[in-house]
Structures are given as structure tokens and as C-alpha cells.
Amino acid sequence: MPAAVAAAASLVLFAPSRSSSSSPRILRRPSLLPLRRANAAPSRPRIPRLVAVRAAVAIEKETPEEERPETFLRAADGHHGAASSSASVRARFERMIREVQDEVCAAIEAADGGGKFKEDVWSRPGGGGGISRVLQDGGVWEKAGVNVSVVYGVMPPEAYRAAKGEAASGNGNSSVKAGPVPFFAAGISSVLHPKNPFAPTLHFNYRYFETDAPKDAPGAPRQWWFGGGTDFTPAYIFEEDVKHFHRVQKETCDKFDPSFYPRFKKWCDDYFFIKHRGERRGLGGIFFDDLNDYDQEMLLAFSTECARSVVRAYVPIIERRKDTPFTEQHKAWQQLRRGRYVEFNLVYDRGTTFGLKTGGRIESILVSLPLTARWEYDHKPEEGSEEWKLLDACINPKEWI
């Protein structure tokens, strides 16, 4: 979430539309078998698996800082005009995520009308660090977290496979040779939980990940990939809001490749699937991971465009809904849906589970969780109710545009 950076940074790291009918629709729960993600490269499994990581990732303990540094990069990576192309991508990605953090936080504070972010800055002696910002108990926001992180570390092969969503291999055919793997990860991660049950929760994160050669395999190729997405989790459906949100995602994707939106929308629907419930966490958006099958510069530009589209995709919806009158029943349903949010993040989310297993910064990892959530025994919304319609859309994802 969220623990933003693919799983290693430990932040903070399609069903068609159905025709209308006067008769009630039956909620169809899909099979609980793992879902396939669209257009996955055959050489890299796309479905994340919960892999036991027994050896800890080697990441230095963070040190609190009084002021934000110009960069968290090591001197060898350079911040401007770096000599190597990989260092240049590192520098430009870090600059982008810090600018987006400022833009999003300014928009969130403006919408709140009084609340201010609390900021924690931290670094590590060998390079890397992060900025965690949280606005809590504001006028509009119950809890809003916007975090950036830059991480250098060394991971064992088990953690590397977990970060990539690969199953451990015991037959010697793994794509990763045995031995510690140095890595670099940078990302921005945010979850925004409004107070009003008619105002939707938003999650986004964008990340860049690099590995160097394993220590026992000198000369092995460096690997890199981008990941991220923006997804939308309302408690109540306002079609104009959902269509606006998805339209912004499609417009952003279409600037780079018209196949991106349908591909990444389905990937989002599949990824945010709560298997033990047979439903999605929300109404989707876009999601991609381990993406390196396009030009690196193109994917850097695409990730940048996606991150910069967050404010225009989300803030107009908040302005429309933040003052809508609501009842205790509406609030109770919102908290039940936030219970689903907690379940997904703690059980299935790659970044969160990896961060919890590997000793990441716990306050940053768990910033994605709401202040309040609710679980009721065997709760079922009344058929045809607004709550039922939301649950139906989470079980049977639809095309919104």
C-alpha cells in the first residue's frame, strides 16, 4: 500500500456490464481459485503468493532527521546529471515522488479546510530514507497518509522471490540464483480515508525497483521494473463519481498505449480480490507490477503521468461528497467495508506482508489502515439496497466507461 515499494521498500513501502432488469440480480460469488492477471509475461508469474521469508532483508535501522535532505540517494547515484542511465532513473524517480507528495498533501489539506499533516523524516547511514506524512482526525479526513521512501538493502533469494510474487523453487530452476541480492527501491504510497461514508477511500502507489547481481553470481544482469496503480474504494456507488475516476485512469493510460487501461483495470480487479470473501476490496482502477517489457524511459514517463493524475481523479469527488448528510446506518456500512480493507491489506497485500516479515518501519507500513473498522457476524445487506449494490459491484466487477 501501504508499504509501497513492490514489497521490498517496506514503505510508508472483467466481467462485462450487465443489462438493467426490473428483477433483482443474484450476487454471484466467483470461484475462490486464484485469478489470472491479464497479459502476464510467461517467464514471470504475476499472481502474488504468500511465501514464507525466514531470512531477514538487510536494511539499516532508520535515524530520525530534523529536516528534509535534498535527496536520499547515495552520492554515487547522483541527484542531477547522473552519469549512468540507471542512476538517472533513480534520481528522476525520487524527484518525481517527492514533488507528487507535496502536490497531494497540499490538495488534501485544502479539501480538509484546517487539518495539517504531521511529518516524520528519517534516513539510513548507508543511504536511503523517507518522509512519512499523516493527517489524522481532520475536518474531512479520518486518516490520510502520503509517504515516500528510498531504500538500499540486501535481500536473500527467498525475499527476492516474495517481492516478485514468485513461488519458492526447490528444483533448481528458479530464476534467482542462491545468494544475497543487493537492491534499490523507491516509491510513493498513499491511502486516504475520509470521514463521510459517501466520500470514497483512495489508494495509490508508484514504485521503481532495481536489483544488482547476486553476491555469488558476479556478472549476472541487473534487473529493474516499475509497479503501481490507483484504486477507488467507495462505500456507496455514485455512478458519476466512478465514471469520472475511471475516465481519468483511461485518459492517462491512453497517452502511452491504448491497451494499458483494459489490461491494468483487469489486473487491478484481480489483484484486489479478497479470496476468503469472494469479493474485491473496491471498484478498481489500474494496477501493474513487475513491468519492464517496454522502454525504461517510457515507463518512467507513464508512472509519472499516473502519479500526477491522482489529484484530478479524486479531489473533485471529495468536494462533491464531503458534506453530504449521513446516518449511523451509513457510517456502520462504511466501517464494515473498511473491515474488508483491513483484511486485504494484512492478508494479501504484497508490500504490507513483506514489510511485516522483514522488519520495515512499522508506523509507515500500517499507515494504510483506517482509524476505525467494524466486523459483524454474518452481515448481509438487504437485497436491492444501496449497500447491496456496492457489494454486487465488488463481487461482479463491471466496465464503468
Buried b (16+ CB within 10 A) or exposed e, 351-362: bbbbbbbbebbe
Does 203 qualify as catalytic in the annotation? yes
The active-site residue out of 79, 80, 203, 276 is: 203
d(CA 95, CA 80): 10
- Residue 161 · residue 348 · CB < 8 Å: no
Q: Residue 200: which of 230, 261, 145, 241 has the closest Cα? A: 241
Q: Which cell goes with 350? A: 504484497
Q: Which amino acid is at 291?
A: L
Q: Residue 194: which of 300, 281, 324, 82 has the closest Cα? A: 324
- Residue 5 · residue 93 · CB < 8 Å: no
- Residue 330 · residue 205 · CB < 8 Å: no
Beta-carbon contacts of 380 under 8 Å, excluding residues fewer than 6 positions away, are none
| CA dist 250 → 95, 136, 243, 302, 387 (Å) | 25, 31, 10, 12, 27
Q: Which cell goes with 379? A: 452481515
- Residue 373 · residue 345 · CB < 8 Å: no
Q: List residues bridging with 208 in a β-sheet.
A: 186, 226
- Residue 346 · residue 354 · CB < 8 Å: no
Active site residues: 203
